[in-house]
Amino acid sequence: MPLAGDTHAPERTAEAGAPRGNPFGARFVAPLYLGASLNPVNSSIIATALVSIAAALRIPVGDTAILISSLYLTSALAQPAAGRLAEVFGPRRIFVAGIALVLVAGIVGSLAHSLTALIVARVLIGAGTSAGYPAAMLLIRRRAEQAGHEAPPRGVLGGLSITGAATVAIGPAVGGLLIGWSGWRTAFWINIPVAAVALILAWAGIARDPDPVRFGSPRAFASRIDLLGMLGFGGSLTALMIFLSALPHFDRPALAAAVVLAAALVGWELRAAQPFLDVRLLVTNGVLTRTYLRNGLTLMGTYVILYGLTQWLEVARGLSAYQAGLALMPMGALTALAARVVSRRAGVRLPLTACAVLLLVGAVAALFLDSGTPMAVVICVTAVFGLTSGAGTVANQSVLYQEAPAATLGTASGLLRTFGYLGSIASAAITGTAFHSGVDDGGLHLIAWVLVAISALVLIMTVLDRQLAGADRQHTN
């Protein structure tokens, strides 16, 4: 089903800012890449500001952890919701609205004098940055259709992953420098110039959406976007995240609430005329469902190392936060490099298999790390996970683009990111459990054993997935 208003597509073939001979020129992709990078920028830079924020507000450092979890929770909920809104109202409108919200959040955070105000700013940042990725995927698909292409150039989709990987790679180090020079408010005001530039580029390089569908009543609008489905999804996901965040304490009420709300959500979505979460599609389209699971598990493994190793380096090895960030920069750089290489080749099965194998190799290697291991060896182990993250993210994104229905690509893209956030939060729970009694070599080895199990599951899922061969044939045709 085409997006609303696509009957006017011929009038928009020559979109603003694109060279006539190249529909995916720099003026078109630059705002998309910049907008999609806002979420990883804010995810990484805040880590270096938590200690300074706690000192400025005179609160325990542990209390500032909510500034991280609030963004993750908001993003996990808002990514598919932003995708659905982009499908209904137009991807450019939602893309621009999201960037504008980030600009407002930057101002709120820069002027804040309490933890509550900072939480509000982080929630606004999470909601605003969530529009970037799903809207960008819809804009790219629309652009390809208008140009008469079956699919965009391979490097265009890969660029979304490369940009995110690059910002995550340099985020902790650059954040440490900026915050050291200008204070913790840098983590918030940095959004103001970046969002302003993204807005200017979007207005100049992306053509306007057609007029949106008019809804006769609030009830018709709620039905079209499946508001109850969104609320049910948000409730079940929130309860699940509360349960994961409480580990190793077993929060039975949160788990029970997650199960009950999830069951109610499935029942509602099976009856909804235009479901927010298409349960039937997830059941019948095994390739798409396994892509979500594989992406979540792969990122869980990557983030387990990212979070766990960072704490271990600072406590067991005595590195500063800035030094630990520098040590992890090769991991981020190789993530971007692997993403670039995979984005330029046809086929997804080989990169996904290589990703799973490397994840297992890295997990086994982590079993042999201890406080006396040379830093060069530690950096080499993290580099393996960088290759895993880059290859897996791009390949899974390619499968999603091929398998998701065109009319619901925004929601589907948001769900891919949601599974990634679930993996991130689960990895934090694993790390917290492993280091519950102290950050030491034993805790790191426990993390490594969990990672061995995760990577083995990812490898089995990938090798036994015969439908990936069919996805390869579509990719090369």
Residue 230's pLDDT band (cuts 50, 70, 90): confident
Which of the residue ranges 18-22, 182-186, 218-222, 448-452 has the most confident prediction, judged by mean pLDDT?
A: 448-452
Encoded tokens for 72? 């993750």
Residue in the structure block whose two tokens are 């059941």: 283
Taking residue 148's Cβ as centre, other Cβ atoms within 10 Å add up to 8
Look at residue 11 in the predicted model and tell me its pLDDT.
36
In tens, the pLDDT along 43-88 reads 777 766 777 888 888 887 667 778 877 888 888 888 888 988 998 8
In tens, the pLDDT along 285-314 reads 888 889 999 998 988 888 788 777 877 887
Average pLDDT over residues 175-184: 76
Residue type, 298: T
- pLDDT for residue 92 is more than 90: yes
Look at residue 475 in the predicted model and tell me its pLDDT.
53
CA 435 – CA 444 distance, rounded (Å): 8
Look at residue 6 in the predicted model and tell me its pLDDT.
38
Closest residue by Cα to residue 29 from 205, 209, 152: 205
In tens, the pLDDT along 249-265 reads 788 899 999 999 999 99
56: enclosing H helix or E strand: helix 50-57
Asked if the bond preceding 374 is cis, omega within 30° of 0, the reply is no
Average pLDDT over residues 88-112: 93
CA 40 – CA 166 distance, rounded (Å): 9
- pLDDT for residue 128 is more than 80: yes
Distance of CA 82 to the CA centre of its chain: 13
Average pLDDT over residues 227-254: 84
Look at residue 317 in the predicted model and tell me its pLDDT.
83
Residue type, 278: D
Number of H helices, E strands in the chain: 21, 0
- pLDDT for residue 474 is more than 60: no
**What is the overall mean pLDDT for the chain?**
82
Q: Under a CB-based contact definition with an 8 Å cutoff, are residues 375 and 324 in contact?
A: no
Look at residue 31 in the predicted model and tell me its pLDDT.
92
Residue 229's pLDDT band (cuts 50, 70, 90): confident
CA 156 – CA 33 distance, rounded (Å): 9
- pLDDT for residue 8 is more than 50: no
- pLDDT for residue 345 is more than 50: yes
Lowest model confidence (mean pLDDT) among 52-66, 207-221, 278-292, 448-462: 207-221
- pLDDT for residue 205 is more than 90: no
The 8-class DSSP code of residue 61 comes to G
CA 406 – CA 442 distance, rounded (Å): 48
Which of the residue ranges 227-241, 350-364, 417-431 has the most confident prediction, judged by mean pLDDT?
A: 350-364
Residue 107's pLDDT band (cuts 50, 70, 90): very high
Residue type, 369: L
Q: Using alpha carbons, list the distances in angstroms from residue 207 to 4, 17, 234, 407, 428.
A: 15, 8, 32, 19, 40
Average pLDDT over residues 330-350: 82
- pLDDT for residue 4 is more than 50: no
Residue type, 115: L
Look at residue 321 in the predicted model and tell me its pLDDT.
63
pTM score of the predicted model: 0.78
